[in-house]
Structure 1
Amino acid sequence: MIASSVAPDLTAATVLVAFAGVFLICFMKGAFGGGFAIVGIPLLSIVMDPVTAGGLLAPLFVAMDLYALRYWKASTWSRPDLVRLLPGLLIGIGLGYLLFRFLDHHAIAIIIAVVTLMFVGLWLAGGGKVAFRQRSTPKAITAGLTSGITTMVAHSGGPPLAMYLLPLGLSKEVYAGTTSLFFTVGNATKAVPWLLLVRPAGSDWTLMAICLLAIPSGVWLGWRIHGMLDQHQIYRACYGLLVVTALKLLWDGVSGYLG
């Protein structure tokens, strides 16, 4: 089933809200390498339906990622982890595309939210310290696969990836750089399926062009903030953002059933 996009009217409010949402996502990408796109999506949903927002963002993610590589260079990538994560990611995106029309999105959102909150709760119970644990290929494959499915279905692939990477105790630069490249591959892969599922129409393309202007300043500002924070501050911020993301997913899932 192809979902035709309902092009939003290009009012000043629509442009302003969409621009702010893209800027926020870019800021997160510059500060943390990505994975928190869902934090900005609620803003876009104020002026357009969520499906249209997903179709609008899909190609913009690719532009954000390519620009972010200017800051998150190859020296910040954890190759051993990417080798374990990327195959699962690609398979997950394929599964997400095939199951998009049949999955109960609300149930998936609730499950991801509950697991994420449990993960953060365990971290807090352990004293909120940066952990140093061994890599696990099965856990990496599971994280990549889950992230691929959720990023395809709801642009919410960050929590599964973070639950794998954060306990490794990577340096803040390597954590952000690895996350950035992971989602560069993922967003480039899912752009075509999303554009097939939700075909942009009319003013969508104009709005995308306007939002492109938010990318350089958003990524740059996030990168500067990243440089000002130390290792523990970055990790606390990541865990805090996981809570925000999980609560948003939980709200989406529960409100979907209540509605």
Structure 2
Amino acid sequence: MTSLLADPWFYAVALPAVILIGLSKGGFGGALGVVGVPLMSLAMPPVQAAGILLPILVLMDISALWAWRGKPRDRLTIKNMLPGAVAGITIGWATAAMVSEAMVKLIVGVIAFGFVLRWLWQKFSGLDKPHPHNTPAGVFWGTVSGFTSFVAHAGGPPYQVYALPLRQSPQLYTATSVLFFALVNAVKLIPYFALGELDTSNLTASAVLMPVAAITTLGGAAVVRHMKAEIFYPITYALVFFLSLKLIWDGVLEIL
């Protein structure tokens, strides 16, 4: 680990990854945070990258919960999605040795791409209207989100498939997603510890990056508080679209 912390390439990929994740955690950028593991994988094994990022994600969750304290949250979203997320984490833990990160990238990328195409079709056909809550859909997408979150900290796109069509205000959407992923990441600590990914060397690397994590999370929250829905949603969908293309490209290349 000493060699990793002394390697400039580690900081070259880790700092941008943490900044992007922090802005995403604060609410600005939505699913953009899933680039964290792929970006850090340029300098270290993907599993190690995920292990280093998890404590940072937990700190970001604490910062985001503080930044969004007192704001209303959609309890139905949490109620519908959290049980599935716990099941998805359990599935990810049980299949950790069988599912490659490349497969997860491809799955998440295809889901996100199809989601954006559906939104574009609805928007230009005049059918872009708020959708009501749906418990079976919430459980399903919660399960997918929990699974992809466990494997590659990539639970954002599946969460958005369920939550964005609800057309919540940017503040309600962000405050709810902050709580959901804070609970998901807290649950993930147990299997990650059991798999040995929270060892002293990884925690040391996490500690070095944590100040950047806290600052960027609070910065993302400050931006979202001043964004209107007609600006927030197109930006979020655009980021998900470009992210989906990158994930599909990376997944196909790695599988081939």
- Normalised to the residue count of structure 2, the TM-score between the two structures is 0.90
Q: How far apart in 2 are the matches of 1:235 and 1:55?
A: 31
Q: Residue 48 in 1 paired to residue 39 in 2?
A: no
Separation in 2 of the partners of 1:120 and 1:33?
15
Instruction: Give the structure 2 partner of residue 69 of structure 1.
Output: 65
Q: Which residue is equivalent to 1:166?
A: 164
Deviation at 1:34, TM superposition (A): 5.6
Match of 2:230 in 1: 232
Q: Which secondary structure state, in structure 1, belongs to the residue aligned with residue 99 of structure 2?
A: coil
Whole-angstrom distance in 1 between the partners of 2:187 and 2:225 = 29
Shift of 1:74: 4.7
Q: Provide structure 1 residue ranges, at least 5 long, that are not aligned to the other structure.
A: none
Which residue of 75, 91, 101 maps to 2:87? 91
Of the candidates 152, 174, 188, which is equivalent to residue 190 of structure 1?
188
Candidates 77, 80, 85, aligned match of 1:81: 77
1:102 equivalenced with 2:98 (yes/no): yes
Greater shift, 106-115 or 220-229, is seen at 106-115
Query: Residue deviations 1:164-183, cap 9 Å, x none?
Result: 01111111111001111110
8 Å Cα contact 2:68/2:221 also seen in 1: no
Q: What SS does the aligned partner of 1:75 have?
A: coil
Q: Could you say if the C-alpha distance between residues 18 and 110 of structure 1 is closer, same or farther in structure 2, counting changes exceeding 3 Å?
A: closer
Q: Is the 8 Å Cα contact of residues 54 and 189 (structure 2) preserved in structure 1?
A: yes
Task: Work out which of the residue numbers 208, 211, 226 in structure 2 matches 1:210.
Answer: 208
Worse-matched range after superposition: 167-176 or 104-113: 104-113
Letter of the 2:82 counterpart: L
Point out the more displaced range, 61-70 or 74-83: 74-83
Quote the offset at 1:233 in angstroms: 1.2
Code of the aligned partner of 2:254: G
2:114 aligned to 101, 118, 129, which one? 118
**What is the distance in 2 between the residues matched to 1:17 and 1:111?**
24
Q: Distance in 1 between matches of 2:79 and 2:182?
A: 14
Q: CA shift at 1:202, angstroms?
A: 5.8
Let me know the Cα RMSD of the aligned residues: 2.3
Contact kept, 8 Å, 2:37 with 2:152, in 1: the verdict is no
Query: Which residue of 10, 14, 24 corresponds with 1:14?
Result: 10
- SS at 1:228's partner residue? coil
Gaps of 5+ in 2: none
Deviations 1:103-141 (A, max 9, x none): 254334323322321121121122268631111000000
Query: What does residue 141 of structure 1 align with?
Result: 139
In the alignment, the residues of structure 2 paired with residue 112 and residue 190 of structure 1 have an alpha-carbon distance, to the nearest angstrom, of 19
Cα deviation code 1:171-212 (max 9, x no counterpart) = 111100111111000011112312333535564333211111
In the alignment, which residue of structure 1 is the partner of 2:240? 242
SS, match of residue 102 in structure 1: coil
The 10-residue stretch of structure 1 (63-72 or 18-27) with the greater mean CA deviation from structure 2: 18-27
Over 3 Å counting, the alpha-carbon distance change for 1:125 and 1:230 in structure 2 is same
SS at match of 2:225: helix
Tell me, in whole angstroms, the C-alpha distance in 2 between the residues paired with 1:41 and 1:172: 26
- Once structures 1 and 2 are overlaid, which stretch shifts more, 39-48 or 217-226? 39-48
Q: How many residues align?
A: 254
- Match of 1:178, SS state, is helix
The one-letter amino acid of 1:115's match is: I
Q: Residues 227, 74 of structure 1: CA spacing in aligned structure 2 closer, same or farther, 3 A cutoff?
A: closer
After TM superposition, give the deviation of residue 40 of structure 1 in Å. 2.9
Contact 1:109 1:249 in 2 (8 A): yes
Q: Is the 8 A contact 1:113 1:249 kept in 2?
A: yes
Partner of 1:222: 220
Letter in 1 for 2:235: A
| Percentage of pairs with the same residue | 33
Matches of 2:77 and 2:231 in 1, distance apart? 23
